[in-house]
């Protein structure tokens, strides 16, 4: 099979980690007789520097015409530290999600047997953790009306959702729960927010369509606590944009490193796959960044966009083997030998070739 993949390396360590995911993906393609056509395109600060736009039309055309998008990371401190900047890398990510219709972010959290004692949480708290957040991506406070009043002394951001936006995300959550342990939790703040009450009301109206799925409703502050107390109790959680942004980062550290967790952003057309970590500019060019989250994002791409489950499972298998063998970057080395980003990628390729 032939597949065209838009490659958006982005900023900071993005080019380094995506390079290793490409290397691993190409090894998988060779082993299973597929052909991958990579189409690089600019986004984020790199695109601002080149053309003044964090998501230029040319990049959108590449993404829209591809079978999938593999994305690295965006953002640099010079934009973060300039509150007056009119054009920011993150604007490109938000626009990309909107224009590609990527309304659902699927972010799994699971533990690796060989790393379970590297988690900041106790072993008995996290054993068996295997949960997935489905976060709404194109609505809510990030896309609502915003501005300043009273000569700049007052600022406001508006959170707005439509019932249809909630329904389309909920369907993804229900379908995912059906394929797993048939448990779905809506995370909201319905005791305070009107938008949350609309979320809860909408899901309650959909429960009869999915009688095999057990639905629970929990407040966001309670979930933030329970993710630390007993994360293994959760299966699939769905939530709005802002809550999902915060909770998925909290959940990511359960595994022991943000450099380990993949994600997918899906809609009705092309899907985008990316590691959940940021651009980590302090590590740029040092060949020390952990590429495994990006590699595992590529595994999600093979399975979800290309329906190639065996290929995806082999990627996950060699990642687990690399962790068990201690071939890891410095964030996981814990005093033992730390391997370079490219060395970890090379080791994964060697395991694929031997499989």
The one catalytic residue among 49, 117, 221, 325 = 221
Pairing between β-strand 262-266 and β-strand 272-275 as defined by DSSP bridges: antiparallel
**Closest to 170 (Cα-Cα) out of 198, 151, 191:** 198
The one catalytic residue among 11, 23, 189, 235 = 189
Place of tokens 């030998």: 337
Cα(first)–Cα(last) distance of the chain, in Å? 20
Residue 127 in 3-state DSSP? coil
The one catalytic residue among 53, 67, 249, 346 = 249
Q: Is 249 a catalytic residue?
A: yes
List strand residue ranges (DSSP E) for 220-324, in order: 236-239, 262-266, 272-275
Q: Yes or no: say if 108 and 134 are a contact pair by the CB < 8 Å rule.
A: no
Return the sign of the alpha-carbon dihedral for residues 111, 348, 16, 299. negative
Contact partners, residue 131, CB within 8 Å, separation at least 6: 108, 109, 110, 231, 232, 234, 235, 236, 237, 251
Cα dihedral: 68, 246, 231, 72 (round 10):
30
Cα 348 off chain centre by: 21
Measured from the Cβ of residue 212, the count of other Cβ atoms closer than 10 Å reads 8
Alpha-carbon distance values, 171 to 98, 164, 174, 319 (Å): 19, 11, 5, 31
The one catalytic residue among 53, 67, 245, 346 = 245
The one catalytic residue among 55, 142, 273, 339 = 142
Q: Is 82 a catalytic residue?
A: no
Query: What tokens appear for 333 in the block?
Result: 């080395």
Q: Is 339 a catalytic residue?
A: no
Indicate which residues carry an active-site annotation: 142, 189, 221, 245, 249
């Amino acid at each position: 099979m032939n597949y065209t993949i838009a490659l958006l390396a982005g900023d900071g360590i993005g080019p380094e980690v995506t390079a290793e995911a490409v290397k691993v993906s190409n090894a998988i393609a060779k082993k299973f007789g597929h052909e991958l056509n990579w189409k690089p395109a600019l986004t984020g600060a790199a695109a601002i520097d080149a053309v003044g736009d964090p998501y230029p039309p040319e990049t959108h055309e590449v993404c829209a015409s591809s079978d999938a998008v593999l994305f690295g990371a965006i953002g640099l401190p010079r934009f973060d530290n300039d509150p007056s900047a009119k054009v920011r890398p993150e604007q490109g990510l938000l626009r990309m999600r909107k224009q590609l219709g990527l309304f659902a972010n699927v972010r799994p959290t699971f533990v690796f047997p060989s790393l379970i004692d590297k988690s900041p949480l106790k072993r008995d708290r996290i054993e068996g953790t295997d949960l997935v957040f489905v976060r709404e991506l194109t609505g809510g406070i990030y896309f609502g009306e915003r501005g300043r009043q009273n000569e700049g002394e007052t600022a406001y951001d508006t959170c707005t959702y439509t019932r249809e936006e909630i329904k389309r995300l909920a369907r993804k959550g229900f379908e995912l729960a059906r394929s797993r342990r048939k448990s779905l939790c809506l995370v909201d703040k319905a005791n305070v927010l009107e938008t949350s009450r609309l979320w809860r009301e909408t899901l309650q109206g959909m429960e009869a369509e999915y009688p095999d799925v057990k639905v629970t409703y929990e407040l966001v502050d309670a979930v933030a606590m329970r993710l630390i107390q007993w994360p293994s109790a959760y299966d699939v959680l769905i939530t709005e944009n802002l809550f999902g942004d915060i909770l998925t980062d909290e959940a990511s550290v359960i595994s022991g490193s943000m450099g380990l967790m993949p994600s997918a952003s899906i809609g009705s057309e092309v899907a985008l796959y990316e590691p959940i970590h940021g651009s980590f500019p302090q590590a740029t060019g040092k060949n020390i960044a952990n590429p495994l989250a990006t590699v595992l994002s590529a595994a999600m791409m093979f399975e979800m966009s290309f329906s190639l489950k065996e290929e995806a499972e082999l990627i996950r298998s060699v990642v687990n083997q690399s962790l068990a063998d201690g071939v890891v970057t410095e964030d996981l080395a814990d005093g033992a030998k730390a391997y370079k980003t490219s060395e970890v990628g090379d080791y994964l390729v060697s395991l694929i070739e031997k499989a």
